Structure 1
Amino acid sequence: MSTEQMERTAAAWGQLTEWLRVHAPTSHTSILPPATAAEIEEAEARLRHECGYGFPPELTALWAVAGGVRQLDIDEYDEEGEVATGRFLPHGLLLTPAQSIRPRLAGLDSQGKDYWEGARWAAPFGNYREAADTGLYLSADGLGKWRAYEGVFMDEPLYPSIAAYLEAVNRTLTAGPADGMGPEAPGVVYGCLSWQDPRDPRLDETFADWRPVH
């Protein structure tokens, strides 16, 4: 991974966070400070010990500007559909270093069997902090979806890099079209960027307060 590629990742993240600052300030506030070297080293040591490889440089470059996200309490919390302040990406949360290795390590059983068949990846993004069932993996081949429903599966990469993924998010937010990332379109609710499929929204009753970006 070249220095240029890592700089491209940081630049794309910077563009996204500036958009959030202006249009979705609650989501912007949910971004954690850069991960410390100790946080990254501790998670990477576990990954190396169990799987024999470390983090891709592009991922550590992203953590150098944002160490993950947190969920903030907001007054408009609705039991019919919680608004996750940190879930401002179409594929979920930016995970911390420790959170990102859980899905990969969960593929190892107590007898040492690897259900992922030696695949080298970490999970930069997950639907939830526990990242126990689905999210996006990053491998040498790019960024793609993984899931663990009655088995473990990795889809073909959707984007060649984190930078390409973030750039696609930025294009969708600023230029459109609304479905540029798939059926879920960007919108803002309670100061949070939230991606919803207008035909099948996740936010249930809260969806009435969701306003599409385009």
Structure 2
Amino acid sequence: MTDDITGRQVTDAWRRIEGWLREHAPATYAALGPGADDEQINAVENALGFAVPVELRMLWGLVSGGNVKGRGPWRDNNNLISLDEVIGHYRLKLKIQADLDENHEKFARLEEDRAIAWQRLWIPVFSTRVYDTSHGAFLDAGNGLMWKWTRYAYIPPTDKDPQDSIVTYMEDLADALEYPALAEDTPGLVEGALVWRSCVRAGEDWRASLG
């Protein structure tokens, strides 16, 4: 029952986001791609070696793409990483962690000085750029919460910048689009594509959305 509720929450939030894009950001809406099927998602699970949380399965099953001129439709114009890239990036980050662990052991450093770049249950979800996964956000399959990664290191969350679940992330995004006056960052448009105010490039003709 809990999985059913979570799945419905993800779907409902996405329908709100999708509806807003259809009405206000036609270029971004037109760039949205179809979701993955169960076979494709199962292949990711097999590659990772553990089950993907239901909320991420639902998200992957609903949508792909949505990028216009290098900007995705998510907060901060982040990009939803493709399933092939999820596997490749996951393996790359585990390799980086293995190298860090080897270096740690080689120099017999203290345990509290161990560098963390990645953990086995972290699943890459969003990247800050379409063609660059050096920074982004992952979902911890252990606790169901998302956080950020950087190129080589993990920076723990703080009370001032709390973690989101997939559900809260999507519901907050839908709220920000529908009620921009209450949002921390303002959604707007550049040539019919969703662009957040913080992501506007020099010289662009950006206008705020009325929600």
Distance in 2 (CA, whole Å) between partners of 1:7 and 1:104 is 28
Pair 110,186 (structure 1): closer, same or farther in 2 beyond 3 Å = closer
CA drift of 1:9 comes to 0.3
- CA deviations 1:18-55 (Å, max 9, x no partner) are 1000100110111111212232122222111xxxx231
The C-alpha deviation readout for 1:133-170, integer Å capped at 9, x for no partner, is: 11121124344332224534353574442121111111
User: How many Å separate the matches in 2 of 1:131 and 1:7?
Assistant: 31
Deviation at 1:194, TM superposition (A): 0.8
**Separation of aligned partners in 1, 2:27 and 2:125:** 21
User: Structure 1's 196 and 103: CA in aligned 2 closer, same or farther, altered over 3 A?
Assistant: farther
Residues in 2 aligned to 1:17 and 1:172: alpha-carbon distance in whole angstroms = 13
* C-alpha distance in 2 between matches for 1:129 and 1:55: 22
Letter of the structure 1 residue corresponding to residue 203 of structure 2 = E
SS at the partner of 2:180? coil
Q: Which runs of 5+ in 1 are unaligned?
A: 73-82
> How many residue pairs get matched?
190
**Corresponding position of 1:90:** 75
Which amino acid is 1:47 matched to? L
Larger CA deviation: 125-134 vs 153-162? 153-162
**Equivalent residue letter for 1:166:** M
* Secondary structure, counterpart of 1:204 in structure 2: coil
Residues of 1 paired with 2:118 and 2:23: CA distance?
44
Q: Is structure 2 residue 178 aligned with structure 1 residue 204?
A: no
Report the structure number with the largest CA radius of gyration.
2
Question: Could you tell me which amino acid in structure 1 is paired with residue 74 of structure 2?
Answer: L
Bigger shift: residues 185-194 or 103-112? 103-112
What is the CA RMSD across the aligned residues, in angstroms? Answer: 2.6
Query: In the alignment, what sits opposite 1:38?
Result: 39
Distance in 1, matches of 2:130 and 2:38, equals: 21
Q: CA deviation at 1:105?
A: 2.0
Distance 2:180 2:66 in 1: 27
1: CA distance, partners of 2:42 / 2:132: 20
Distance 2:174 2:81 in 1: 19
Aligned to 2:149: 147
Aligned partner of 2:24 in structure 1 is: 23
SS of aligned partner of 1:64: helix
Name which of 148, 151, 170 aligns with 1:166.
170
Runs of 5+ consecutive residues of structure 2 not aligned to the other structure: 102-115
Runs of 4+ off more than 6 Å: none
Check conservation: 2:118, 2:154, Cα contact below 8 A: no
Alpha carbons of 1:186 and 1:111: their partners in 2 closer, same or farther (altered >3 Å)? closer
After TM superposition, the score normalised by the length of structure 2 is 0.77
Q: Which amino acid aligns with 2:201?
A: L
